[in-house]
Amino acid sequence: MAYASYEHRGVRRVGELRGSSLVPLEGGTELGLDTGPEWLRDAVRDERAQVPVDEVRLLPVVPRPSKVFCVGLNYLGHVTETKRELPTYPVLFPKFDSSLIGAHDDIVLPPESTQVDYEGELAVVIGRAGRRITEADAPHHVLGYTVANDVTMRDFQYRTHQWVQGKAWDACTPIGPYLIPPDGVNLAGAGIRTVLNGEKVQESDLSMLIFPVPRLIATISTFTALRPGDLILTGTPGGVGYRRDPQVFLTAGDRISVEVDGIGTLNNLVTMEQTDQSTQEGGGQ
């Protein structure tokens, strides 16, 4: 089973994937705070209103999460290429709901950055609220899994020891296309890969996570309550563009995909943000 937040003819719905169509669930406009596992199970399916997937715009799986946590340095290969020490506690930083875009939306390069990088990741969607969740109980708080690309502006990230200025740009983080419930996912050895213009640039599997999903949920919920719809981006494997020789950054016209076996694939075109030249030149009065 798979679910999506989508827009069709200006109306937002939650849909259950049936082959190549989405069947809307009555009473919901998007996955999030009010769409826990019981709602997904019990909501009435409006069979007569099903629509082909290729006729809708897929929104971020959760368009408006209350929290978005990201994890840095969570694969040994990435730790090695950054020449950092192996972490003993997860490296955490935030994004915001304004950072998120749909699975097939364009990644728009901001004019301020010349070092826009890719980071393919598994994302966790919280389904049940909790505080101080134990690792043993953590799986019961997961609504499902999806795919993310933690697009990063490296020239801004490394301006300080904090990362938020390189990570939390508006409309920079594709997430989707679908929410896959836990019983439909085998995380033990699922592969993850990123492909840029037909060339594989990242590849690993989820067994290589330094801090697995239950540990991340337990760690984060120690200091803040998790709510339904909250997102945890679990970190990226080695192969990021900044650490390559020569370095590789996203440019307009690139096509990039991120795939996690059994969960889904993001496919995004990279474009350049159009700026208002008259405003930039002081002629916008």
Q: In sequence order, what are the residues at sequence separation of 6 or more whose Cβ sits closer than 8 angstroms to the Cβ of residue 183?
A: none
In this structure, the answer to whether residues 52 and 134 fall within a common structural domain is no
Domain contains 281: no
Closest CA to 63 of 194, 179, 213, 226: 179
In this structure, the answer to whether residues 36 and 73 fall within a common structural domain is no
In this structure, the answer to whether residues 53 and 80 fall within a common structural domain is no
In this structure, the answer to whether residues 207 and 112 fall within a common structural domain is yes
Instruction: Evaluate whether 28 touches 43 at the Cβ level (below 8 Å).
Output: yes
In this structure, the answer to whether residues 16 and 156 fall within a common structural domain is no
Domain contains 114: yes
Domain contains 277: no
In this structure, the answer to whether residues 87 and 224 fall within a common structural domain is yes
In this structure, the answer to whether residues 14 and 127 fall within a common structural domain is no
Q: Which string of DSSP letters, residue by residue, matches 216-263?
A: HHHHHHHHS-B-TT-EEE----S--GGGSSS-----TT-EEEEEETTT
What average pLDDT does range 168-197 have in this prediction? Answer: 95
Question: Domains in the chain: how many in total?
Answer: 2
pLDDT tens digits, residue range 56-107?
999 999 999 999 999 998 988 777 877 778 889 999 999 999 999 999 999 9
Domain contains 97: yes
Domain contains 93: yes
How is residue 110 written in tokens?
Answer: 């901001």
Cut 0.85: pTM above it: yes
In this structure, the answer to whether residues 228 and 109 fall within a common structural domain is yes
pLDDT tens digits, residue range 234-277?
999 999 999 999 999 999 999 999 999 999 999 999 999 886 64
Task: Compute the mean pLDDT over every residue in the chain, rounded to the nearest whole number.
Answer: 94
In this structure, the answer to whether residues 170 and 220 fall within a common structural domain is yes
In this structure, the answer to whether residues 111 and 172 fall within a common structural domain is yes
In this structure, the answer to whether residues 82 and 50 fall within a common structural domain is no
In this structure, the answer to whether residues 9 and 109 fall within a common structural domain is no
In whole angstroms, give the CA distance from residue 67 to residue 84: 27
In whole angstroms, give the CA distance from residue 227 to residue 86: 30
Domain contains 206: yes
pLDDT tens digits, residue range 113-129?
999 999 999 999 999 99
Q: 157: helix, coil or strand?
A: helix
pLDDT score at 113: 97
**Domain boundary residue among 18, 34, 58?**
58
Share of the chain above pLDDT 90, in %: 89
Domain hosting 14: range is 3-58
pLDDT tens digits, residue range 4-29?
999 999 999 999 999 999 999 999 99
Closest CA to 2 of 177, 163, 258, 151: 177
Does pLDDT of 31 surpass 80? yes
pLDDT score at 104: 98
Instruction: Evaluate whether 105 touches 151 at the Cβ level (below 8 Å).
Output: no
Closest CA to 230 of 41, 48, 31, 19: 31
Token pair 């826009």 in the structure block, residue: 116
